[in-house]
Amino acid sequence: MGKDLMVKPSENLDRGRYRRKVQRCLDTLARMLTDGSFSFPRKNIGLEVELNLVDRELRPSMTNTAVLDALDDPSFTTELGQHNLELNVPPRPLAGESALQLEDDLRGYLAAAGAKAEDTGSTLAMIGILPTLRHEHFDQKWLTNSTRYSSLNDQIFAARGERLSLSIEGAALPGQQPELLRSYSESILPEAACTSVQLHLQVAPEEFAAHWNAAQCLAGVQVALGANSPFLLGKALWHETRIPLFQQATDTRPEELKNQGVRPRVWFGERWITSIFDLFEENVRYFPGLLPETDAEDPIEALESGLAPKLTELRLHNGTVWRWNRPVYDVVDGLPHLRIENRVLPAGPTVLDVVANAAFFYGAQRALAEAERPVWTQMSFQAAEENLYAGARKGFDAQLYWPGIGWIPPDELVLRVLLPLAHEGLRRSDVSDAARERYLGVIEQRCLTRRTGSSWQRAYVLKAQESGLERDAALTQMLSRYLELSTANEPVHSWPSSLTG
């Protein structure tokens, strides 16, 4: 969402002016796409990791400001909750040994942040949803002290006109009945429970639609392969509970608007696209502004003067529509470019798993985007969306639809179809053989063992409860063991399944 706001929206409520400015930004973007105004020297990748802080009892530690002050590193920044940090890894080319260097860099960043966190009595936890979160941690007082976050909270609740309700029916633990979460919140802090890894890929404007459509096709497979968020408020829910939780936590619609079919702000989309402009135009057409701040720039005048327009209002608006694959316009060193931001993956379990997930995505996405007969011309958009929810809910037990095959489990789909495509896509991207084999080898073994972070967490908690522990104690013990194993950086498919091994 960019920089902090200058004033609260309540102090600047000229929504008509804001709407006109957003439209002018959109018109400017259209001209830039037509005129060939974008820089594209090479395919750069980027990565963001959202992190949790826990105290010595493994409960959320509301210390992000202290940790950031101690770190004094611009690569780390705040996130919505006081128990969250965000790491922004500098962009780099995909080719060569870059992925291996990314793994080393990530380890270095996390080691530095972990050391500073320890000084404040906290520990870093890289996990999709912190299993020790409780309802009291959703109190508005735990929002990070920022105009941006408090304004977003106020505007979402003003639009809803009622408190936030959470309703999620779980996928049953083996031998158990499905569990049901019914809860509520007076703040948007349930969103802060959703800690993710966001993958960025810089693409040329003419290639954007193919890469975005390919990313949409992969979303269900990605969440099934990378699931790491099975528990929330003491309940065993979806394998990737972030998916329904994030949608519900930022929903501006009361029940009446849901019943009318008004679109949610966390959105898969509704159609395949032919241009990045389609996505920005939909955002402007369907969603009212949540943070209606304007700046003094006239974007068309800036463009005609030979400058790269900031498009501030369009970018801010885009940051409050949470597509699972989000279009990004950015300006770096005075040059404008376009990126796809892939947002479906949870954080963790290990750095190696994170980089393996990224390598699979970048490789498979490129191969699908460049296919002679694109896969999205052979399946409905609704099928791709249903794959996302099926993969998130059931993990490797899901049945996904794929053209030419029909219904197939995610592990079989990856091993038979997508893993060879990912290898080919990374070869075309000039990724070194060592990097390609290291990271896609992790994906292969994860499929063969059918073990994700989520399935490991679920199995551990079930065994801990069978040994006599109550659910809360089992979750705390599981998190302790998870943190021990995740810092060792052995991929999750190799983690021991016993309580003590």
Q: Are 451 and 490 in contact (CB under 8 A)?
A: no
Q: Which pLDDT band, with edges at 50, 70 and 90, does 43 fall under?
A: confident
At residue 497, the pLDDT reads 83
CB 276 within 8 A of CB 326: no
pLDDT at 501: 63
CA pair distance 90, 102, nearest whole angstrom? 9
* For residue 12, pLDDT beyond 80: no
Return the pLDDT at 10.
47
The model scores a pTM over 0.85: yes
| Separation CA 220–CA 390 (nearest Å) | 7
**Tens of pLDDT, residues 385-424:** 999 999 999 999 999 999 999 999 999 999 999 999 999 9
The sign of the CA dihedral 5, 7, 11, 13 is negative
Binned at pLDDT 50, 70 and 90, residue 148 comes out as confident
Which residues pair with residue 167 across a beta bridge?
Answer: 182
Note the helical H segments in 72-204: 98-119, 147-160
Tell me if 225 sits within 8 A of 452, measured CB to CB: yes
For residues 202 and 387, the answer to whether their CB atoms sit within 8 Å is: no
Instruction: Name residue 135's amino acid.
Output: H
Predicted local distance difference test score (pLDDT) of residue 13: 56
Return the DSSP state at 414: I
If one counts every other C-beta atom within 10 angstroms of the C-beta of residue 462, the result is 17
Q: Bridge-partner residues for 86, per DSSP? A: 50, 77
Q: Which of 290, 261, 248 is nearest to 156 (CA)?
A: 290
DSSP H or E segment with residue 410: helix 410-413
- pLDDT tens digits for 269-313? 999 999 999 999 999 999 999 888 889 999 999 999 999 999 999
Q: What is the pLDDT of residues 73-84, one digit of tens each?
A: 999 999 999 999
What tens digit of pLDDT does each residue of 345-382 get? 999 999 999 999 999 999 999 999 999 999 999 999 99
Residue 442 near residue 363 (C-beta atoms within 8 A): no
Instruction: Return the DSSP state at 263.
Output: P
In a 13 Å sphere around the CA of 17, the CA atoms on its Cβ side amount to 11
Average pLDDT of 196-222? 97
Under DSSP, the state recorded for 492 is G
- 484 near 129, Cβ under 8 Å? no
Q: Is the pLDDT reported for residue 2 higher than 60?
A: no
Given a cut of 70, whether residue 441 has pLDDT beyond it is: yes
Calculate the alpha carbon distances from 282 to 16, 142, 212, 383 in Å. 18, 33, 15, 21
CA 179/CA 230 separation, integer angstroms: 11
Averaged confidence pLDDT in the chain: 94
Task: Average the pLDDT over each of 15-24, 34-43, 293-302 and give the range with the smallest value.
Answer: 34-43
How many other β-carbons are positioned within 10 Å of the β-carbon of residue 169? Answer: 15
Q: How large is the average pLDDT for residues 35-50?
A: 87
Of the pLDDT bands very low, low, confident and very high (cuts 50, 70, 90), residue 6 is: very low
| 388-417 exposure pattern, b = at least 16 Cβ within 10 A, e = fewer | bbbbbbbbbbbebbbbeeeebbbbebbeeb
pLDDT for 4 beyond 90? no
Of 32-46, 170-184, 454-468, 471-485, minimum mean pLDDT range:
32-46
Per-residue confidence (pLDDT) for residue 36, from 0 to 100: 87
- 45 forms beta bridges with 92, 201
Asked whether the predicted pLDDT for residue 258 surpasses 70, the reply is yes
pLDDT of 46 strictly over 70: yes
- Nearest to 268, CA basis, from 226, 212, 329: 212
Decide if 313 contacts 163 (C-beta within 8 A): no
Whole-angstrom distance, CA of residue 50 vs CA of residue 35: 37
Which residue from 450, 268, 440, 242 is spatially nearest to 357, judged by alpha carbons?
Answer: 440
- Given a contact cutoff of 8 angstroms between Cβ atoms, the answer to whether 50 and 158 are in contact is no
pLDDT of the residue at 312: 95
Q: What is the mean pLDDT of residues 435-451?
A: 98
